[in-house]
Each structure stands twice: as structure tokens, then as C-alpha cells.
Amino acid sequence: MAFRLGVIADDFTGATDIASFLAAAGWRVTQVNGVPTQALSTPADAVVVSLKTRSCPAQEAVSLSLQSARWLREQGCEQLYFKYCSTFDSTAQGNIGPVTDALLAETGQTMAVLCPALPVNGRTVVHGYLFVFDQLLSESSLRHHPVTPMTDANLLRLMDAQSAGQTGLLPLASIRQGQAAIRQRLEVLQQQGCRYVVADTLDENDLAALAAALPASVLLTGGSGLGGAIAAHATGQHAAAQTRETPPRAGRGVVLSGSCSQMTNRQVAWYQQHAPARALDIARCRQNAEDYAREMAQWVSAQPDFPAPLLYATDAPEVVQRLRQRYPGEDIGAMIEACFARIATLLCEQGFSKFIVAGGETSSLIAQKLGVTAFTLGDTIAPGVPWVRDLHRPLWLALKSGNFGTTDFFSKAQELYHD
């Protein structure tokens, strides 16, 4: 069953992000969670594999990505796309570089294009430097990310530090000269020994130009913007006028926020003024995680149905840093994610059917623990954040990357099913 694009996403929110952009351009999209073990059973234009490999050891990220790539190619995938965050979240040791190298070796391709830009959400690349709105990546709130602090905005340097080859630049001037200029620049860079190419991108027109010009011989990597442009180029439309499913009014919901991004901090602060909210007690998580999870689930169940109650571990970067210092050698993030996942499992057992989750790592573990193996895409809440429904039962999730969405995102998600 051949299909156009096979996407390997390094976290669950990133997977739903690119899946929503592909679907918005009119493609049929199937999203699966974890390395698939069964053959593809439904027709699709694109298949998105959701992994949890953004911050795991590089060797594990490579292994899972290669397993996914092999499955996608066995199912008839015409071209692979390695999806990572539009802020290029990684470290000097990986995982973007090692996974890209492994996929190049697996496919026999000799060059990878790196395009994390997502202009609709303020991520652009100029002269190889990644911007978050009007700030360099290294001057934005991502500089203080608790897991992957981004202290350099130069994508060429970042890629060179974590990969096995040399990185070149596809400048904006070449992109805006059109298809012939783009391909000529790629040929020149390949002759110069470049294995990776960072693509400057300022707006949607630049993404469209890349989508039209990039040859099948290159490995595609980047954010959801280029993926959406590729689908739009294939269908001839940038936003399909489609009516997508929304969660039913019936059934209880909850908001679980594990992200500590700047935007999620704003979203939590805003939502606290409009709904019941309670912060996780980290000490209680450490002392007796099972009993504490049950206590928190009971608190959620005791709250009014609407607006959905909020549980959060979201806090300022300096608070997160103090926690790490207070508990040296402990993975506080993993402990919090496990607590949220246990709470979500208990609530699901009680009949909760709508989960609004902030944070890629938190979203990944919750989806896994709830036993969600595949999604169908629902209506979009914000660019890159759709509602998704478990393919096998009436369980709905909104999985939000930390910095996505407006300040009132948690309320907007509920407005789609509660008027």
C-alpha cells in the first residue's frame, strides 16, 4: 500500500503537530504511536510514527528511528521525513544529528535538508540562525529549557557539533530565485562535501518554494512547516476546507500540564483564574507516588465538570533548577511525567474521556500509558495542535507542545465541544 510520506517524529506533540498540517492540506493521514508491529490497514497519503526519542540516549533514539524507517519503507513509503521541534531542541551529543546520520545510512541518501522553520508560530531561519519571533533562539526562553537548553542559534554549528559531517547553508537569496537556483545551490554544496543543508526560511512562500524544488534524493528533516508545504504542493491547496470531528459534549475532561515553557506558564496562570487548579507536590510524588496519584485523581473527580480542572507541574526555569539542585541525581522530570501518567490512567478508568496535555514528554508518556496505539485527527485548536481521537475507542486528547497556543489555549480546546 504505497503512500507519499513517512514521518518519524521524535515526540507525540510533534507528531500531532505535523499530522495536522498534512491533513490541513488535504492529505489522508494515519498517526501511530510507537514503532508499529502490524501492517498498515487503511489507505493514506502520509503515515506519522510518534516516538519518544527527543531526550532519550542517542543510541536508543537511533534504534527506534531506524525500526520506524524500516517499517515505513516496508509499507510502501516513497519518502521519509524526520520530524523534530521547530526550535531544534537537542544537545551537542544529539539526538537530531545521530538520527539524521542513521537515516542517511539506511536510505543510501547522501544529503539531508534541515528546515525547522514554522513561520505561523514565529520560528524562522535567516543566515542559518534560528529565530523565535523577533529573538534569536539563544536569547529566547529556550535558553533556559530544563532538558535541552538552546544557547546557540546557529544551526550550522549545532548540527556540526552532533553529527558526522559538514553543514552548509541554502540561503534565502537562492530560495527566492526559485526551483533552479535551489537545486543548483544543493549541487554546489554537495560538491563542497556538505552532508547537511540548513534552509533559510522567512515565510510560507519560502516553504512553498522548497517543497516544489527539493529532489527526492535528499532526506527531509525539520518541523511541521515544510511537511505541510509538501502536502500543499501535492494537492494544490494550502488549507483544505474540511469539517473535522470534535469531541462530544458528553464525558468529563481534565487539563494536565507538565511543560515549563514560557507560554505554558502564561497559559497555566491564565487558566488558574478561570478553573479549579492544583499544583503537584514534588515531595509527595517522591514519597508515595501511587497514593499521591490516587489522591490527585480523587481531587479532580470532585471538581465541577466544566471548566475542566487543572493539575500542573509548570513553573519558572529558576524553580525547576532549584528542584534539580535539591534532588541531585534524581530525574525529577521523569518522576513528574510518571505521576501525571498514573493520574491519567486512574481518571480514564473512572470514565474521563478528554485529556488536554501540555508538554511533549508528558504527552508521550500519558498516551503510552493510556494504551493509545493510533489516532485519527480531529478539529484544530491552534496551529500545530489538533484534537485527536483514539482509533479504537472514544478517547480524545489534545497534546500541546510547550510553546504552542495562545494564552487561553486550555479554554479554547474546550470551546470546541462545550458552548
pLDDT in tens, 336-371: 999 999 999 999 999 999 999 999 889 989 999 999
Q: What is the domain count for the chain? A: 2
The CATH number covering residue 362 comes to 3.40.980.20
Q: Name the nearest CA neighbour of 396 among 361, 366, 365, 359.
A: 366
Q: Do 202 and 301 share a structural domain?
A: no
* End-of-domain residue from the set 183, 200, 235: 235
* End-of-domain residue from the set 178, 210, 235: 235
Q: What is the mean pLDDT of each run of 10 residues along the chain (419 residues)?
A: 90 91 92 88 91 91 97 95 90 89 97 96 96 88 71 92 95 97 98 98 97 96 96 77 78 94 93 96 85 96 96 82 73 87 97 95 91 89 92 93 91 90
355: cell is 485529556
Domain-located, residue 118:
yes
190: cell is 554537495
Beta bridge partners of 386: 380
354: cell is 478528554
Q: Do 219 and 141 share a structural domain?
A: yes
Q: What is the pLDDT of residue 409?
A: 97
Structural contact between residues 168 and 189, judged by C-beta atoms closer than 8 angstroms: yes
Q: Do 227 and 118 share a structural domain?
A: yes
Q: Do 409 and 356 share a structural domain?
A: yes
pTM for the model? 0.86
Distance between CA atoms of 36 and 179, rounded to whole angstroms? Answer: 36
For 59-90, the pLDDT digits (tens) are 999 999 999 999 999 999 999 999 999 889 87
Domain-located, residue 146:
yes
Q: What is the pLDDT of residue 240?
A: 47
The CATH number covering residue 153 comes to 3.40.50.10840
Q: Which domain holds residue 200?
A: 3-235
337: cell is 511525567
Domain-located, residue 244:
no
Q: Name the nearest CA neighbour of 137 among 13, 148, 357, 235.
A: 148
Distance between CA atoms of 391 and 395, rounded to whole angstroms? Answer: 9
